[in-house]
Every structure is written in structure tokens, then in C-alpha cells.
Amino acid sequence: MSLRVALLTNYPLIDNVEWKRNFATKIKDAGFYIDVHYGKKDLKSLFFSYLRKRKYSYGVVKKTKANSIKNRNFFKKRGIKVTSYNSLNSTKAITAIKKGNYDIIITALDQILTKNFIKTVNTSIINVHYGALPSIKGTSALEWTYFKHKRCELTLHYIDSGIDTGLIISRKEIAIDGPVLFTTLRSEVQNHIPKILYDFLIKVKNDENLITSPNDRGYLYTFMHPDMIRILENQK
């Protein structure tokens, strides 16, 4: 059984996140079929994303270097079909993704998929949450998990119509060595994502029984204030 997988992500003009390349390569080499669907291809979405990062991040928003690896080009060179839309929640995107007849849809997004998307596509959708579910839902989950639990954890879960409320599939605690710097920690955390997703897909391929756990507790968090992040990083 060769699974058909779709990766949903955003910003094709600047996307150069390494874990996506590593994941796509890993599962393609394993014999799976994968397509990549980009949302927010327009400059307006990119501009507002930049403003949001400037508002909520104390770090410098880096420009994409001219010699950096653009994921869109990388995928195409590997023979992976890439399609871009102004919005993944658009009728055009939903229709195309539904026609793909995917076994699994994986998200790497900074937006919420609409109820119409979830209902119409009618396929299992999963996400890797950068925090401890069910307790920490929403944005800045990496930072809030450290603040609340003094640990770093990734949670693989299904997507439903709520925000980070789908059934929990698995968890992975990441060791924190030395002083906390969240930009560095985020990069280290992302190194684990390809294996987490690959292990899940292998279980699906082998028709293994996936034991899930409920995700109906916890609180919804928003962006952590930059001053609070500084305080956490400066703690001894």
C-alpha cells in the first residue's frame, strides 16, 4: 500500500524551512506519493505576516537570502507536484485537494482550516503542535509550554473544527540542554518533525491500530509578549 500524502503550507515565495524538505525527501524515498499545496501566495498575505511577526517577536525578522534553498524549487526538482493558491480555504484549493484523493493531509500552517474545508475534503488531517496538548492550545505553544511545564514537547494530533482540539496521536518530549533561547529551540524541535510524521505514516501504511487520547481540556493561548520571552530566556 503506497499512501497518497498532501503537505499544506504557506508562503511559496519565501518558504525555506528545512524540515519540510527533509520530510518530503524521507517519505518519497520510502515510496509514498506526495503533493505540496501552498496557500498565501500573494504579496499582501506575505506583507501582513511580516507585520505580525514584527509585532509579536522581539527577534529580527530575517529576509530570505538570495542563495537560500527555496522549498518550492526543491520540491519541483524532486518531482513533487506543487500547487499554489491565494488561500487554502478557497473553493479552488478545496476542490483540487479533494480531487487528490489523499490518504493523509499534513499541515504546516499559520491559519485555521475552515469547517467547509474539513467537511468537503473528508480526509484525515494531522498537525504537529509545538506544545503540550491538551493543556497548551493556540499560538506561542513552545514558549507557553516551557513557561507552564518547564519542558519542550511536540504533539501529533488530528485536526477537527476546533483550534488544536483534535484527538492526540502521539507526544515527543524534547530535551532542553543549557540556556533557553527560543529561536534556537524552535529549530532543534523542528529536526524531530520528519521522523514523527514518518513513523505515523508507517503505522497507517501497515494498518496498525492507532491509540488516540482525548484533547478536550486545557486553555487557548495567544502570542506571548516579547518582554515575557526575554524574562524566560534570562532565567538562571
Domain ranges of the chain: 1-122, 128-236
- Entry pTM: 0.93
Mean pLDDT is lowest, of 13-22, 57-66, 88-97, 162-171, for: 57-66
Q: In this structure, what is the dihedral angle of CA atoms 103, 142, 160, 12, given to the nearest 10 degrees?
A: -50
Indicate the average pLDDT of the chain: 92
Domain 128-236 in the same topology as domain 1-122: yes
**Mean pLDDT, rounded, for 67-83:** 93
pLDDT in tens, 200-222: 999 999 999 999 999 999 999 99
Q: What is the pLDDT of residue 1?
A: 62
Question: Is 128-236 a CATH 3.40.50.970 domain?
Answer: no
Cβ-Cβ contacts under 8 Å for 172 (sequence gap 6 or more): 153, 154, 155, 156, 192, 196
Q: What is the pLDDT of residue 45?
A: 78
Q: What is the pLDDT of residue 166?
A: 98
Q: What is the pLDDT of residue 62?
A: 46
pLDDT in tens, 19-70: 999 999 999 999 999 999 999 998 877 776 766 665 566 554 444 454 579 9
Radius of gyration (Cα) for the chain, nearest Å? 18
CATH number for the region 1-122 comes to: 3.40.50
pLDDT in tens, 105-140: 999 999 999 999 999 999 999 999 999 999 999 999
Whether 130 and 186 have beta carbons less than 8 Å apart is answered as yes
Cβ-Cβ contacts under 8 Å for 134 (sequence gap 6 or more): 168, 214, 215, 216, 217, 218
Q: Residue 99: pLDDT band by 50, 70, 90 thresholds?
A: very high
Q: What is the pLDDT of residue 42?
A: 85
Q: Residue 173: pLDDT band by 50, 70, 90 thresholds?
A: very high
**Mean pLDDT, rounded, for 150-177:** 96
**Mean pLDDT, rounded, for 156-183:** 94
Please give the full DSSP string across 116-166, using - where no structure is assigned.
HHHHHH-SEEEEEESS-TTTEEESSHHHHHHHHHSSEEEEEEE--SSSS-S
